[in-house]
Copies of this chain bind each other. A is one copy, B any other.
Amino acid sequence: MEKTGMNNQESLLKLENFLCFAIYSTANAVTRAYQPRLAALGLTYPQYLVMVVLWEEENQTVKAIGDKLSLDSGTLTPLLKRLEAAGLITRRRDTVDERQVLIGLTADGRAMRAQAEAVPIAMGKAFGCTMDEAKSLRSELIAMRDNLVESIDEVK
């Protein structure tokens, strides 16, 4: 006689076996952990990432920022408007290619960088792992992310 097939021990449908859930819940925890450390700067975590991208290189297009962060204009446009309203960035149309909007830093935005240096240091302790562990985990995650992104194109 066959078993029902339901509630069998080896089921793939168990939350504790889900790699996806480990990623999902860790990402939520990352955002929550950054929040009190970013409060002094008045930034949200995604806003902080945009600022990091701009501290590396000023005057990038929305598209370029989106490629680096894997975010589209639907997410970035309102976020950038908030950073502009906060007086941290500038937005101006590219005169050569008027489809593009160039994002620059204000003096305040540039000055914030010094304060922001403390954030990764504080967060490094919070993660509670060695530099080497962080490095290998990062590269494993990125490889997996690229696999996932590739698989999306295949399904569609």
Across the interface, A33 reaches (CB within 8 A) one of B27, B126, B148, namely: B148
The SS class assigned to the A binding surface is helix
B36 touches A20 (CB 8 A): no
Chain B residue contacts of A20, Cβ below 8 A? 30, 34, 123, 127
Q: Which residue of B lies closest to A120 (CB)?
A: B12
Residues 114-151 of chain A: 1 if any B CB is under 8 Å from the residue's CB, otherwise 0?
10110011011111110001100110111111011101
- A: contact size bracket: 35 or more
**A142 to B116 Cα, complex, angstroms:** 27
**A75 to B117 Cα, complex, angstroms:** 32
A126 touches B142 (CB 8 A): no
B19 touches A138 (CB 8 A): yes
A86 within 8 A of B: no
Q: How far is the CB of A37 from chain B (nearest CB, A)?
A: 7
A13 within 8 A of B: yes
A120 touches B30 (CB 8 A): no
User: Can you list 26 A-B pairs with a CB-CB distance of less than 8 A?
Assistant: A11-B117, A12-B117, A12-B121, A13-B55, A14-B52, A14-B56, A15-B68, A17-B138, A18-B52, A19-B138, A20-B123, A21-B69, A22-B138, A23-B30, A24-B31, A26-B141, A26-B142, A26-B148, A29-B148, A32-B149, A126-B151, A126-B152, A128-B143, A128-B147, A129-B143, A137-B141
